[in-house]
C-alpha cells in the first residue's frame, strides 16, 4: 500500500483550517500534521485541501441521457460523461437521483431509472467510474404505477436513498397551475394543448393516487433500508407528514416555515447550491441564503449544476460571514455523508477514506486542481 503525503496545504478540517500536511496510506488518511514535512511529499503550494464532496441529489445524469427533447443518448456514454463532470467538480460520492415518474403522456418528463441503473452497473463492473455512485430514487407519488415500479427496482438494486415527490400543479414547488405550465413547457417542448391534458390528468391522478402511493413507498423504503427524504415541503401539514413517515432529509423546502419546522424536528434541511450562488430560487421559492442566515440550512446539493457544489461552499462564507469555511464545507461533505449513513468519509481525519480535493481560487471562483477517491487520483 503506497504512502502519499500532501504538504504545504490549507487543510479544511471539520472545525478549522490548518496549514499542514496529510499522509495517506492506501485508501485511508493516517496522519494530519503541521510539523516537519517528509522530503518525498507532494507540495500543494498553499492550495486548499478539502474532503471529497458528497452529493445527495443530482439529476444531472438524466440531462446527459436526454440532451434535447425527444433525443436519447447512449446510456453508458451518458453515465460516463456525467461521472467525469461529477469528479472534475470535486464530488467523490454522488447519489444519482433517478426519476420514477411513470407518465408516458408527458413527453420529456418521464424518467428512465432502470436504463440508467443498468448503465451505472455496467460502468462499475468495467471499473470505469471515477466517483462512488449510489442510487437515489425520486418517486412521484401521484402517478399510477410508481409504487410497483419502485418495488421492481428495489427487488434487484441496492437503493440508498428515496425521496417522495409530488409535482401536482398548484402545490409545493408549483404554488400555481401557471407556474407548472410555464416551467415544463419551456423545459420539455410540450405544446399548450398537450399541457392542458397533462394538467387535468395530474390533478385527477393526485386525488386518486397520492395518499396510498406515499404510504406504500414509505413502507418500501423502510423495508429496504433506504434513507427517506421529503421533497418541496411547503406547509406545516407537509412537515408533520414527513415526521410521521420517518423522513431524514427535507429536500428543497419551498417556504421558510417548512424549513424551520423541519430543522426543529431534527430533519436535515437540504437546499440547492444554484439557489445560493444565484442569490435565490429560480421558481421564486425560499432562498438558501436566507435559511443559512437563520441557522436552518444543513446540506447543500448541486442539483442540476455539479460545479455549483464547491462554489457554494466558498460563496456561503462571503454571503453569510457568521459561517466560516469549515462550517460551509461540512454542508457539502461531512453532514451529507452522516445523514446518508456513510461514516467512512466526508472529513479529513485519521481513519477516514482518502477522498480529497485540491482547490485554488481564481478570483472568487474555486478551481479544482486535483481529486483523489480512496487515495487514487481520479481527476
Q: Could you read off the pLDDT of 198-221 as tens digits, one per residue?
A: 888 788 888 788 899 999 999 999
- Rounded Cα gap, residues 96 and 251, in angstroms: 14
Question: Which pLDDT tens digit goes with each residue over 243-286?
Answer: 999 999 999 999 999 999 999 999 999 999 999 999 988 767 89
> Reduced to 3 states, what is the DSSP secondary structure of residue 373?
strand
pLDDT of 188: 65
Residue 107 confidence class, pLDDT cut points 50, 70, 90: very low
pLDDT above 60: residue 109: no
Average pLDDT along the chain = 92
For residue 191, what pLDDT is reported? 79
Q: What is the pLDDT of residues 14-47, one digit of tens each?
A: 999 999 999 999 999 999 999 888 888 999 999 9
pLDDT at 36: 82
Residue 177 has pLDDT above 70, yes or no: yes
The per-residue pLDDT for range 140-166, each reduced to its tens digit, is 998 888 999 999 999 999 999 999 999
DSSP conformational letter for 255? S
- Locus of grid cell 406545516: 236
Cα gap 327→313, rounded to integer Å: 9
What pTM did the predictor assign?
A: 0.92
Crossing angle between the packed helical segments 113-125 and 146-156, to the nearest 10 degrees: 10
Q: Residue 101 has what DSSP assignment?
A: -
- 80-84, 207-211, 358-362, 371-375: range with lowest mean pLDDT: 207-211
Lateral strand order in the sheet of 132-140: 53-58, 91-100, 132-140, 161-165, 227-231, 249-251, 268-272, 299-301
Which residue has cell 507540495?
43
Q: Which of 226, 220, 56 is nearest to 152 (CA)?
A: 220
Over residues 116-143, mean pLDDT: 96
For residues 377 and 174, what is the distance between their CA atoms, to the nearest angstrom? 42
Q: How far apart are CA 222 and CA 233, in angstroms?
A: 20
Relative orientation angle of helices 192-223 and 146-156, to the nearest 10 degrees = 50
SS3 label, residue 248: coil
The Cα–Cα gap between 318 and 176 comes to 34
**The three three-digit cell numbers of residue 95, written as one number:** 447519489
Q: Which of 3, 37, 32 is closest to 18 using CA atoms?
A: 32
Amino acid at each position: 500500500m503506497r504512502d502519499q503525503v500532501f504538504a504545504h496545504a490549507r487543510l479544511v478540517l471539520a472545525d478549522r483550517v490548518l496549514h499542514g500536511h496529510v499522509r495517506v496510506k492506501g485508501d485511508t488518511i493516517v496522519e494530519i500534521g503541521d510539523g516537519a514535512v517528509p522530503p518525498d511529499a507532494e507540495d500543494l503550494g498553499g492550495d486548499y485541501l478539502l474532503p471529497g464532496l458528497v452529493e445527495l441529489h443530482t439529476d444531472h445524469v438524466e440531462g446527459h441521457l436526454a440532451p434535447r427533447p425527444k433525443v436519447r443518448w447512449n446510456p453508458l456514454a451518458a453515465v460516463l460523461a456525467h461521472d467525469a463532470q461529477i469528479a472534475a467538480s470535486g464530488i467523490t460520492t454522488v447519489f444519482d437521483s433517478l426519476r420514477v415518474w411513470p407518465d408516458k403522456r408527458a413527453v420529456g418528463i418521464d424518467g428512465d431509472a432502470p436504463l440508467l441503473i443498468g448503465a451505472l452497473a455496467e460502468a462499475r463492473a468495467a471499473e470505469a467510474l471515477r466517483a462512488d455512485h449510489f442510487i437515489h430514487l425520486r418517486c412521484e407519488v401521484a402517478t399510477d404505477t410508481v409504487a410497483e415500479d419502485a418495488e421492481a427496482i428495489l427487488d434487484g438494486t441496492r437503493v440508498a436513498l428515496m425521496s417522495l415527490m409530488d409535482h401536482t400543479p398548484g402545490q409545493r414547488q408549483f404554488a400555481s397551475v401557471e407556474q407548472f405550465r410555464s416551467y415544463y413547457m419551456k423545459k420539455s417542448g410540450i405544446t399548450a394543448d398537450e399541457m392542458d391534458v397533462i394538467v387535468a390528468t395530474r390533478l385527477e391522478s393526485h386525488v386518486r393516487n397520492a395518499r396510498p402511493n406515499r404510504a406504500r413507498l414509505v413502507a418500501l423504503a423502510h423495508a429496504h433500508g433506504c434513507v427517506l427524504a421529503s421533497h418541496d415541503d411547503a406547509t406545516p401539514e407537509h412537515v408533520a407528514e414527513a415526521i410521521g413517515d420517518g423522513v431524514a432529509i427535507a429536500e428543497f423546502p419551498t417556504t421558510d416555515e417548512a424549513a424551520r419546522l423541519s430543522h426543529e424536528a431534527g430533519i436535515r434541511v437540504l437546499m440547492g447550491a444554484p439557489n445560493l450562488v444565484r442569490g435565490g430560487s429560480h421558481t421564486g421559492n425560499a432562498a438558501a441564503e436566507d435559511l443559512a442566515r437563520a441557522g436552518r440550512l444543513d446540506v447543500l446539493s448541486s442539483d442540476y449544476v455539479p460545479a455549483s457544489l464547491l462554489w457554494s461552499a466558498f460563496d456561503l462564507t462571503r454571503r453569510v460571514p457568521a459561517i466560516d469555511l469549515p462550517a460551509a464545507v461540512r454542508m457539502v461533505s461531512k453532514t451529507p455523508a452522516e445523514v446518508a449513513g456513510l461514516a467512512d468519509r466526508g472529513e479529513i481525519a485519521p481513519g477516514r477514506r482518502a477522498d480529497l480535493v485540491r482547490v485554488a481560487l481564481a478570483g472568487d471562483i474555486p478551481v479544482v486542481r486535483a481529486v483523489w477517491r480512496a487515495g487514487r487520483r481520479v481527476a
